[in-house]
Amino acid sequence: MKWVYIEDIHKYEGQEVELRGWLHNKRSSGRIKFLMIRDGTGFIQGVAAEKDTDDEGFALINDLNQEASIVVRGSVHREQRAPTGYELSVRSIEAIQNKEGYPISPKSHGVDFLLGNRHLWVRSSKQWAVLRIRAEVVRSVQEYLWEKGFLQLDAPIFTPAACEGTTTLFEVNYFGEPVYLSQSGQLYSEATALAFSRVYCFGPTFRAEKSKTRRHLTEFWQIEPEMAYAHLEDAMELAEGMVGNAIHRVLEKRKEELRTLDRDTTLLESTITPFPRIRYEEAVRRVNELGESMEYGDDFGAPQETVLAMSFDTPFMITHFPIDVKAFYMRKDSETGDTLSFDLLAPEGYGEIVGGGEREFDIKELEKSIESRELPMEAFQWYLDLRRFGSVPHAGFGLGIERLVAWICGIKHIRETIPFPRMLGRVYP
């Protein structure tokens, strides 16, 4: 009999198939037993009736425990009321392994317990849905860049210097020398952009975020495109195109997962590019109007970002931040003295998902900036070489995968958007 995956079950209506999976849960009603079977690609209800199921299999069902690994054979039927539209009439069933005591029962558990059992929690239907959406997002952003001619050239994780400020560096002992886990691959993408024109790096980045928030992990994944001969506007257009494309891709390919999450997709469906843009001053003014205080020159804290992001019903961008709230490499606008920078924020209170802009390509300005921030000039000599030889205007950004996935899924905390989250106080499992 043919082994098939639940996600392909629509192709087998009326046929006998074999499913290899696990028992999600079960219930019985008189002489009929209902099994919720999962196989990693989806969930389907198996219906075992005494008259259709072989005796051995029918008896086994009584003893099956949650998460027993099972091989089930039966015929596929359309069933309007089933979430996937199909149901399996069970002919036979065997258990590969069947043990009681699975720690995550259908009753609700506290989040610490669930995070401590993350290796099992990923089997739950909501977690399954979020992580399937994550995989779709990861694929869509990479394909988007490939189609536009970008090459993937990844950045190192061990780095000699800070990219995004020295307060969140993780120091590692590298054969007796202190080095740091990468906060961003950007500086290396700048080097490869001058060698390959359009590039991106994709990988984990690390920040010693010492506070617990719903937006911060200590290990998170960024996709960071960088373009030679490009300006702020080019980076903004690329970012909005990439985010818009990811949303439409998930809406098209991951409907069942969004349904599993009870995600209201109205705003996602109505997302169109270009996204609204406001300058930093305007954003500060709005935050104050919305009842949170901040002054010109301050960075947006969590409450400010939340109210502003609540006031939009589409992704939007904030541009031209003052130099003091942005990193040393940002290019200054010669007229206003602000930076040629932007953040892309998600609505519904989610806030920043992308940060980027144009890079300082004048060596004098860049040296001044490194000096004034008291960064180690020695460690940046290779980076300064990029301005010594063939320097050109260039721009790029970093998109935080977990932030984008959290918004698309409509989940509160980004810890559920990565298979094994790393946060303050959590490195197990």
Residues contributing to the site for ligand 4AD (CB under 6 A): 163-164, 184, 186, 207, 209, 216-217, 220, 222, 224, 352-356, 396-398, 400, 402-403
Q: Is residue 273 helix, strand or coil?
A: coil
DSSP state letters, 40-77: SS-EEEEEEETTTS-HHHHHHHHHPPTT-EEEEEEEEE
The rounded distance, in Å, linking the Cα atoms of 164 and 14 is 58
Does residue 322 touch Mg ion according to CB under 5 A? no
b/e burial code for range 337-350 (CB count within 10 A of at least 16 → b): ebbbbbbbbbbebb
CB-nearer residue toward ligand 4AD: 66 or 186 = 186
CB-nearer residue toward ligand 4AD: 23 or 353 = 353
Q: Which among Mg ion, ligand 4AD, none contacts residue 220 (Cβ within 5 to 8 A by kind)?
A: ligand 4AD
How many residues make contact with Mg ion (CB under 5 A)? 1
Q: Which among ligand 4AD, Mg ion, none contacts residue 268 (Cβ within 5 to 8 A by kind)?
A: none
* 90 φ, ψ (degrees, to nearest 5): -80, 125
CB-nearer residue toward ligand 4AD: 224 or 257 = 224
Kindly indicate which of the ranges 39-47, 114-122, 319-327, 348-356 contains the residues binding Mg ion, using the contact rule CB under 5 A. Answer: 348-356
Does residue 355 touch Mg ion according to CB under 5 A? yes
- Residue 219 Cβ vs ligand 4AD, minimum distance, rounded to whole Å: 8
CB-nearer residue toward ligand 4AD: 86 or 397 = 397
Contacts of 394 (CB under 8 A, 6+ apart): 190, 193, 194, 226, 227, 228, 229, 230, 358, 359, 361
Q: Which among ligand 4AD, Mg ion, none contacts residue 360 (Cβ within 5 to 8 A by kind)?
A: none
- Residue 399 Cβ vs ligand 4AD, minimum distance, rounded to whole Å: 6
CB-nearer residue toward Mg ion: 172 or 294 = 294
Q: Which among Mg ion, ligand 4AD, none contacts residue 353 (Cβ within 5 to 8 A by kind)?
A: ligand 4AD
Q: Which among Mg ion, ligand 4AD, none contacts residue 398 (Cβ within 5 to 8 A by kind)?
A: ligand 4AD
Kindly indicate which of the ranges 26-34, 131-139, 283-291, 347-355 contains the residues binding Mg ion, using the contact rule CB under 5 A. Answer: 347-355
- Residue 227 near residue 197, CB atoms below 8 Å: yes
Q: Which among ligand 4AD, Mg ion, none contacts residue 391 (Cβ within 5 to 8 A by kind)?
A: none
The rounded distance, in Å, linking the Cα atoms of 79 and 308 is 44
- Residue 217 Cβ vs ligand 4AD, minimum distance, rounded to whole Å: 4
Residue number of the CB atom closest to Mg ion = 355
- Residue 332 near residue 338, CB atoms below 8 Å: yes
What is the sign of the dihedral through the CA atoms of 305, 308, 311 and 315?
A: negative
Residue type, 237: E
Angle at the Cα of 345 (from 192 to 265), degrees rounded to 5? 115
Q: Taking phi first (over 0 means left), then psi (-120 to 50 degrees means alpha), and beta for anything else, what does residue 217 get?
A: beta
Compute and round to an integer the Cα radius of gyration of the chain.
25
Does residue 396 touch Mg ion according to CB under 5 A? no
- Residue 163 Cβ vs ligand 4AD, minimum distance, rounded to whole Å: 5
> Is the backbone peptide bond immediately before 83 cis, with ω within 30 degrees of 0?
no
Kindly indicate which of the ranges 215-223, 239-247, 334-342, 354-362 contains the residues binding Mg ion, using the contact rule CB under 5 A. Answer: 354-362
Does residue 347 touch Mg ion according to CB under 5 A? no
Residue numbers of the site for Mg ion (CB under 5 A)?
355
